[in-house]
């Protein structure tokens, strides 16, 4: 990754894209050039698709364009280095991902009012994406910072990030008021998105005050000032920071399946299956109802109970009577019943943790696996 940073730093935007293309070609990784013109800006994004053609992909992105007068090392040769390595590793173990789909995206035009990601949204209007993880400023520091979009469901990507950090014992924080970035553009097109950065220890306090408490009287962190000025040189990039971001990115790739199972708001399939289930309840078809819940999976079923059911109060009692039929074990039944009666929204982190424990048995019930 340090080699990538050294090769990208100091180059102009077009030369950076040429270098990325040459690396992809050398590693026999298929990519598509996607030229765009947005307002007065124009450029070319690079798209790499991997995995199932049937599943909505998760986006992993980094911008490669450089601000005028900057060497562009941390901003954003660092993010490109992480993404390039992630692409190479994902390709090597693609067979193990089954039905998962990925779209790796090198974005042009981020320094021009995020024109590249805005053009991407227009080019892919109507296409369904699970989530977007954008890597930016990943070359200095020891703490991972996630800036989720302000959309209501952005807590799903944050929850996944929190779980990954916990599993890997990584220093991690999420700030909804994080800097503007391509994640906000993705969010404007209905994609649950966030930007991931690495922050130096000396900047953490200021970062937390400005972006955690939204205190705009606080100055910008030093590492961010350097990233937008001429001091953004390759010599300042830390190998350990890049490895920290890559380790996090690897684990995010492995979490794509749990996101799918979470009843994610961007997945049209969940809405379709929920609608079908409502119809089956109205028609009173027990066998078909049980099969429909099995198709939804545990997270989809819980999402149906907590999100869809409150909008259909006439079915409240009927579905509540189904809980003992669907969930095996008194403790699990009581837990689900309490959630349903309280009407509280599920915590995505809790949901993902529960999912790893819940299985579907031959009797047609969800049960908690014994450890």
* 237-257 pLDDT per residue, tens: 999 999 999 999 998 888 764
For 11-59, how does the pLDDT look when each residue is reduced to its tens digit (9 = 90+)?
999 999 999 999 999 999 999 999 999 878 999 999 999 987 777 888 9
2-261 CATH fold: Aminopeptidase (3.40.630)
β-strands 132-135, 193-199: how paired?
parallel
Domain boundaries along the sequence of the chain? 2-261, 268-368
> Which of 114, 147, 115, 137 minimizes the C-alpha distance to 225?
137
Name the band, by pLDDT with cuts 50, 70 and 90, for residue 127: confident
Higher pLDDT, 226 or 156: 226
E-only strand ranges, 39-85 = 41-51, 58-63
pLDDT for 184 equals: 85
> Which of 347, 357, 354, 356 minimizes the C-alpha distance to 159?
347
Residue 310: which H helix or E strand, with range?
Answer: none
The residue count for the chain? 371
Higher pLDDT, 160 or 138: 138
Q: Which two tokens stand for residue 160?
A: 């996944």
Name the band, by pLDDT with cuts 50, 70 and 90, for residue 152: very low
Q: How far apart are CA 306 and CA 294, in angstroms?
A: 17
Higher pLDDT, 263 or 245: 245
pLDDT for 262 equals: 45
Instruction: Reduce the secondary structure of 271-299 to three states and give it as a string.
Output: HHHHHHHHHHHHHCCHHHHHHHHHHHHHH
DSSP class of residue 152 equals T
Higher pLDDT, 246 or 209: 246
What percent of the chain has a predicted confidence (pLDDT) above 70? Answer: 85
Answer whether residue 354 shows pLDDT above 70.
no
Q: How far apart are CA 332 and CA 323, in angstroms?
A: 10
Buried b vs exposed e over 127-154: b needs ≥16 C-beta within 10 Å? eebbbbbbbbbbbbbebbbbbbbebebb
| Average pLDDT score, the chain | 82
Name the band, by pLDDT with cuts 50, 70 and 90, for residue 6: very high
> Which of 1, 137, 15, 13 minimizes the C-alpha distance to 74?
137
Q: How far apart are CA 58 and CA 61, in angstroms?
A: 10
**CA-to-CA separations, 78 to 2, 12, 98, 195, 245, in angstroms, rounded:** 8, 15, 30, 13, 9
Whether 20 and 84 have beta carbons less than 8 Å apart is answered as yes
For 313-328, how does the pLDDT look when each residue is reduced to its tens digit (9 = 90+)?
888 888 888 889 898 8
Q: How far apart are CA 262 and CA 302, in angstroms?
A: 9
Buried b vs exposed e over 335-354: b needs ≥16 C-beta within 10 Å? ebeebbeeeeebebbebbeb
> Which of 104, 200, 188, 105 minimizes the C-alpha distance to 154?
188
Kindly write down the DSSP assignment for every residue of 335-365, as one continuous string: HHHHHHHHTPPPPHHHHHHHHTTEEE-TTS-
């Amino acid at each position: 990754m340090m080699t990538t940073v050294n090769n990208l730093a100091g180059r102009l935007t077009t030369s950076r894209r040429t270098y990325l293309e040459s690396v992809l070609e050398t590693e026999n990784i298929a990519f598509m050039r996607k030229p765009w013109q947005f307002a007065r800006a124009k450029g070319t994004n690079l798209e790499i698709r991997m995995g199932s053609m049937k599943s909505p992909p998760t986006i992993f992105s980094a911008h490669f364009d450089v601000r005028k007068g900057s060497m562009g090392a941390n901003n954003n040769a660092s993010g490109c280095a992480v993404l390039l390595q992630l692409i190479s590793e994902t390709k090597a173990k693609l067979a193990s991902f089954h039905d998962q789909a990925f779209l790796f995206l090198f974005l042009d035009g981020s320094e021009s009012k995020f024109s590249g990601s805005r053009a991407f949204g227009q080019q892919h209007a109507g296409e369904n994406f699970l989530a977007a993880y954008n890597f930016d400023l990943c070359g200095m520091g020891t703490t991972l910072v996630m800036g989720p979009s302000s959309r209501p469901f952005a807590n799903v990507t944050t929850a996944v990030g929190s779980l990954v950090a916990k599993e890997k014992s990584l220093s991690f924080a999420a700030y909804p008021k994080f800097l503007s970035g391509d994640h906000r553009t993705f969010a404007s097109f209905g994609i649950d998105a966030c930007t991931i950065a690495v922050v130096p220890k000396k900047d953490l306090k200021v970062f937390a005050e400005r972006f955690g408490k939204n205190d705009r009287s606080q100055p910008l962190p030093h590492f961010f000032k350097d990233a937008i000025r001429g001091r953004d040189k390759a010599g300042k990039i830390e190998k350990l920071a890049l490895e920290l971001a890559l380790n996090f990115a690897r684990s995010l790739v492995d979490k794509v399946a749990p996101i799918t199972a979470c009843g994610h708001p961007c997945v049209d399939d969940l809405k379709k299956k929920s609608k079908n289930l409502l119809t089956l309840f109205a028609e009173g078809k027990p066998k078909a109802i049980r099969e429909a819940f099995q198709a939804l999976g545990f997270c989809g079923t819980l999402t149906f109970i907590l999100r869809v059911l409150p909008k259909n109060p006439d079915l409240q009692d009927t579905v509540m009577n189904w809980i003992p039929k669907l969930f095996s074990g008194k403790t699990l039944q009581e837990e689900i019943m309490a959630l349903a009666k309280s009407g509280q929204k599920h915590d995505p982190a809790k949901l993902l943790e529960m999912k790893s424990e819940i299985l579907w048995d031959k009797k047609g019930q969800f049960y908690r696996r014994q450890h």
